[in-house]
Amino acid sequence: MEKLVKDVPMPDASATKVDRLKFLVDISRRSQAQFSTLIGIDPSAMSRLLSGKMPITDQFANRLVVNLGISKKWFTDGEGVPFPRTKEQEQVSRRGAAVYDIDATAGAAPISSMFASNRIIGYLNIPSINPECPVVRVSGDSMEPVVPNGSLISIREVRDPSIILWGNIYLVELEDYRMVKYVRRHPEDPSKVILHSSNPSYDDIDVPRNSVLRLFLVENVINCSTLV
């Protein structure tokens, strides 16, 4: 089973730059080759860096800062945190996760284009919910009882939709639909995925992987009845 980000141990202050680079690769949920593409270097060079056969230069550290937004002080010296918050992010964190007046499963427009400030109807300041992840409503009974009709979900966009945590719940954007489903590996055709409902009244849906425009991992399900 793939490690969650929260289960990847943070390197301590005595760790090397190679240790911190390995940490960044692990929390990115990418392979070495995919991580290399992300920061714009040759995969063979990445392999030599991770094995210690090539020195990590100041220019490489700068590349990480530009492409990943990490703290250079943390990467080079082990001081501070890898992703320092801006003042704006700290303000968002204090308020909590923004709740939008958006139905995740209604319409076909990209949901990310709908995250306007005038659609925020409140904030959820709950420790288990990432304040940087938008919260939207879900209608319909296809995912009951796991995602009840009218509940809220906290979602995080997946930057690389080719990387799927099989068996997890996602908000899936197709050309004509948005739907919340379990995403499962297709047993016969790797070019397809299975969208599975928790409600047994609904059949599985086979869709080509290249028809999935965007994926949002459902990090939390909030049953509104428990908030009353």
Closest CA to 178 of 102, 103, 108, 101: 108
Task: Indicate whether 191 belongs to any domain.
Answer: yes
Average pLDDT, the chain: 86
Task: Indicate whether 160 belongs to any domain.
Answer: yes
* Domain shared by 124 and 172, yes or no: yes
Q: What percent of the chain has pLDDT over 70?
A: 90
Tokens at 81, concatenated: 């945190």
pTM of the model: 0.60
* Domain shared by 215 and 114, yes or no: yes
Task: Indicate whether 84 belongs to any domain.
Answer: no
pLDDT tens for each residue of 142-155: 999 999 999 999 99
- Residue where a domain terminates, one of 26, 47, 77: 77
* Domain shared by 216 and 123, yes or no: yes
* Domain count of the fold of the chain: 2
Alpha carbon of residue 131 to chain centroid: 13
